[in-house]
Structure 1
Amino acid sequence: MNPFFLFFRKFRKYSRNHVMKASLLTISVIIYSVLSEFYIENNIASSGIHSLFTSLWWTMQTITTVGYGDTPVYGLAGRTNGMIIMVIGIGSLGYLMAGLTSMLIDIRLSSKLGERMAAEKKHIVLCNYNESTKKVLERIKYDGIDIVILNENEIKGDNEYTFVKGSFLRENDLIRAGIKKASSVIIFSRAEDKDQMGMDAENILSAMIIRKLNPEIRIIGEILNPDSREHASSFMDDIIIKGDVSSMLIYSSIMIPGIPEFINDLLTSDSISEENVDKGYMDRTYSEFIHIMEKENKIVLAFRKNDKIYLRKNSDEKLDVESYIFIKN
């Protein structure tokens, strides 16, 4: 293992343990000082300590070395006790400050090295970082969505997102990426130099692990070989076959010139939306619903039911869907 990582982990363990010890020591010194000085000085008329709060005020002045001098201590026992408190109190507070400083350094290092657990909720986890991941990030970074990237190697230049160093095939790393609290996960293929079936098998295995950790999460997976679709469909909600879409667009451009540019403009614009179908429309037919939406300048493209999307149909069947996808005219 890299010597730096060994040092970092020892440093983290050291800082966490010492912050707890320093906190307990400082609190103990404060409690002892408040009670002891009040007990010793309370019966001395000229003393400035005649209440627990005043004793606390004197204690905080003393251990922080502020020393306003507005709360005098006159008794020999009180001053002797005060000197002991000065030495122990200043030392314990310095010990605590050093521990907190090391903890802040630990947090910064943890974030930089991907050793920190993601704190987001309802976020999207991106497994593996490649060219496809970059393109997705470029698209969604303006949408205000919290993103956690789980990758085996450090990512440079993407400080806008939470980075977790680890493998998408290990449960502990997925948990650190907040997979149990995430709303969606996108599994990208991690290496181009492996065989397609091997990479697809890794993605499917990761989807199995993720599904076990969070049965409700939406899993979107990248598959390289079309033959893997059947196996992947048991664990992934949406399957993207790399190269399939581009091949279809190339074919479409032969039949309908300009269609790739049109599809690209459509997908990259903000004109496509989805809304739930109001219960008041459930007694309508598909044709009637589409006609009503057109009057509201909404061009219906498709319907969704049970997480499946179906192209629009102008029929006299009763509407039986959950939501509709449309273009705002």
Structure 2
Amino acid sequence: MNVYPFYFFFKRLKKYSKNHIFKAGMLLVIVIIYSVFSEYYLENNIASSGIHNLFTSLWWTMQTITTVGYGDTPVYGEYGRINGMAIMLIGIGSLGYFTAAVTTILIDSRLAARLGDKMAVEKKHIIICNYNDTAKKVLDEISAAGYDIVILNQDDIPQKNDYTFIKGNFLNENDLIKAGIKKASIILIFSKNEDRDSMAIDAETILSAMIARRLNNALRIIAEILNPSSRMHAEPYIDDIIIKGDVSSMLIYSSINIPGMPELFNEMLKSGRMVEDDINDVQRNMTFKEFLEIMQKNGKTVIGFRKNDVIMLANASDNKVDMDSYIYINN
């Protein structure tokens, strides 16, 4: 079902409601105050009347305005009944108008959240720009780690409760502000999935980093670039640069917790000291802790494992090494 027509209808209605919700609220309060004091004044001296104090008058007022009408507080005076009829008309109308205005805003808010047209309220959060395959892998990792996440993307993405989605362009300053760029701690800029020249895509990534830096100078910027030649242009604006490849998702996640990790990996790649070997059946029956200790004795510092093209960082746990290969650095 297409919700866009309903969304734009409620958006226009919300604009109207915002201009009048305060007035409707004030009118409702005035009606309640008038009703309480006027009915008390008109009915207090009538012995058979049910209103002989202000609280009872308030009770009768709320019953009347909300149309509950228990009937336990009778009004017998002629003027009290005439006044009551006026209160019924004005009170029910003002309450209905106030309720409609509030309901419109709530419905519009829900639709805005669904369509990504809202303002992020998170603080010290991580902004993810451009949702691609690498971003999905990183999102799974940082969601499990408990980070507050805001995703800024031009296209709709699967909605989950563990992040806020903002529909917009990472090159648009207003969309970055909507994503809470001024209160964010980290921004991850992923490369667009487009069939264009890699240098042109990298240029957009660098431009987005420049805009983000201007909006929040204390922000840590981690960006994925496609062409190694773009590195020299990106370095002045980006804290951690990741060349897109098999290990890019691992490097990006590592960079969140260990600033500078991508640079270390890049240096190792350039020097040829980082190697990947298959894990044999004997090693697969070891625990991670045992495997790491043996590799260390053999002069190899294991930094990660690969299984089905998914790379995970090395950890000294007691779980079995159920992996296809390991990535290490020669000491």
- Counterpart AA for 1:211: R
Q: List alignment gaps of at least 5 residues for structure 2.
A: 249-265, 280-301, 317-331
| Contact 1:128 1:189 (C-alpha < 8 Å) held by counterparts | yes
**1:232 and 1:270, CA in 2 relative to 1: closer, same or farther beyond 3 A?**
same
| Contact 2:10 2:107 (C-alpha < 8 Å) held by counterparts | no
Which residue of 88, 93, 117 corresponds with 1:91? 93
Residue matched to 2:312? 268
Provide the identity percentage: 62
How far 1:256 moved relative to its partner?
5.7
**1:163 and 1:65, CA in 2 relative to 1: closer, same or farther beyond 3 A?**
same
Residue matched to 2:198? 196
Residue matched to 1:221? 223
Residue matched to 1:72? 74
| Contact 1:191 1:199 (C-alpha < 8 Å) held by counterparts | no
| Contact 2:10 2:104 (C-alpha < 8 Å) held by counterparts | no
Q: Distance in 2 between matches of 1:254 and 1:50?
A: 89
- The total of aligned residue pairs comes to 271
TM-score after normalising by structure 2: 0.72
Residue matched to 1:237? 239
How far 1:176 moved relative to its partner?
0.9
How far 1:127 moved relative to its partner?
0.7
| Structure 2 residue matching 1:197: 3-state secondary structure | helix
Residue matched to 2:299? none
Q: Distance in 2 between matches of 1:139 and 1:203?
A: 22
**1:99 and 1:6, CA in 2 relative to 1: closer, same or farther beyond 3 A?**
closer
Q: Distance in 2 between matches of 1:209 and 1:150?
A: 14
Which residue of 88, 103, 106 corresponds with 1:104? 106
Q: Distance in 2 between matches of 1:182 and 1:214?
A: 8
How far 1:226 moved relative to its partner?
2.1
Residue matched to 2:298? none
How far 1:254 moved relative to its partner?
8.9
Q: Distance in 2 between matches of 1:137 and 1:65?
A: 51
**1:253 and 1:235, CA in 2 relative to 1: closer, same or farther beyond 3 A?**
closer
Could you list the structure 1 runs, at least 4 aligned residues long, displaced by more than 6 angstroms after superposition.
Answer: 246-251
- Counterpart AA for 1:168: F
Equivalences for residues 6-25 of structure 1 within 5 A: 6-25=8-27
TM-score after normalising by structure 1: 0.72
Equivalences for residues 114-193 of structure 1 within 5 A: 114-193=116-195
**More displaced 10-residue stretch of structure 1: 21-30 or 81-90:** 21-30
**1:214 and 1:145, CA in 2 relative to 1: closer, same or farther beyond 3 A?**
same
How large is the Cα RMSD of the aligned pairs? 3.2
- Counterpart AA for 1:130: N
**1:159 and 1:194, CA in 2 relative to 1: closer, same or farther beyond 3 A?**
farther
1:257 aligns to 2:277 (yes or no): yes
| Contact 2:303 2:313 (C-alpha < 8 Å) held by counterparts | no
| Contact 2:304 2:314 (C-alpha < 8 Å) held by counterparts | no
How far 1:53 moved relative to its partner?
2.5
Q: List alignment gaps of at least 5 residues for structure 1.
A: 273-329
| Structure 2 residue matching 1:74: 3-state secondary structure | coil
**1:199 and 1:51, CA in 2 relative to 1: closer, same or farther beyond 3 A?**
same
